[in-house]
Structure 1
């Protein structure tokens, strides 16, 4: 439930309500708005009387949260969440682009790609140091060496790093190297991993499972949010259907549906959702038109030599063309693509102040 305090509620009155919420075995999430405080009482509140809170001084009203995903729902917050990645924030009017290889393969490869995607306008670098593969005989990533190479690429380009963590025992190591922790589709319901990432309080990019419903995705996000980690980004990456023409089926519906149900930012991964490079740019355009807050794209200078997912990887020049086309679509629907790193946002040029997105 949400307990909305009166505009003139005192700090002591807020603390009294917080204490009462905790006495009922519920956890507290405090939101300090411009005009009033909202207290989220999170947990199984079916046996908790709402009237007891209305009797406390300073309380304006008590509202139920009907969705099973409490913290992720728009009932909890009707203001869009922005998650900061390096210089940019995901979740505002400006589209953010994350690009890079499926896997870190070598020092030369990751540095070449990092410089290329930054020049094309990417705002963050993706790359797998640890890779979950269907076959145990496929390339599994460089592990710790891959993390070191990603850190070197960040130092050389300024691009923040997005990389996947596969298991709870990797969380601390990957957290020290990465700016954003990615939870892959296969791990969307690895609840121990979700708990551990929630404890880090680092930005998390949560991909939708290949057979997961939208509600299941939001419930998985709830695991991370329940630990106080509000920095969660959702990612639609295609679902498994009867169709075999592409690797997965892009659920473009999921983008506006998620935007209507949750305040969390939503990305689209057209690389994994199609599995074929020639369809990545058209689906990317559709995702931005549908309202996605950004894209995560696989890029490789020599896809035919890639150790994983070469068929869905764009060459750098094709990624640069994708950026140009996505920018045109964004402008057509009243949005923008965030400027390259090092360049001020449009509002900053006008008034010299950093915008709140």
Structure 2
């Protein structure tokens, strides 16, 4: 009988913290468990649920104490007694494979260092297609210097095997002199996601029975294009067509979204996954004028629900929208670009109907967690045959 494999996933954030990497890590961990593996997720206690070790749906989760800087978007380890106790327990583990999510987190360096200490070459999965940004013109130039420095340090010190979450991520890694070995893509159980839908009736609740509903789901942060959505919601051209934007999510721009509510915009706050599924199944289209994505989970969720997407040309977009019969790639992330794309779809309902069928079928046929888990396991098996470089 083959020996049971043991794997570790290092992710700086993890649910209940909201984000694409968090969702990816959670579903990947469960898919690996379904493949018969023991899985440990090492993360940070960004939401204050309590540092320690728990078992969540068959996955061991170790949350380290941290300082959740920038609303938890950039956690730093707090080296107190609890951290030292947990670190000691982690260091006695022996894993057959280690995955670290994203290049720029100190937590990723921590994971790669631990992998090296047990003789495992880590896999570094990049989730970006542009520089990390906090939409701060003073801070962002320093962030770029940091990102280049921490990437060079991780590459030189720990020699990880680099992969991208999408073809855009693979291309982006070349900017740092990194030739990725391939793609380990984001996924979704499309049928299960649709069937998980709550019974919440957003159209009835918001009095939108006859409206053309444009949904947007995710963190309310500048780089997600929230300002462009707010401005587009004020467009007289779209209002004349009965277009209403429904924004779901929370974040630093929540107050601005709340104040912008009116005839063309509704805000429903942060939704749990079943409500997001319900909203996407009731929407006409989903709009994501984001600055950067590795492979947007929201884009996958919308496709699974048969909700065509209007999205910038970021990671994952071309994989899910190979041509206009599957969705819309924005020419511009500006409010004018968003307005033009929505008006064009409103005026061509047959095109929207075709996109609904095609995007739903593509998500179900080509993107599964089982396939992603098996792909990663093959990567780990291949790396096990070649020892990592010495420190």
TM-score, normalised to structure 1, is 0.31
TM-score of the pair, normalised by structure 2: 0.29
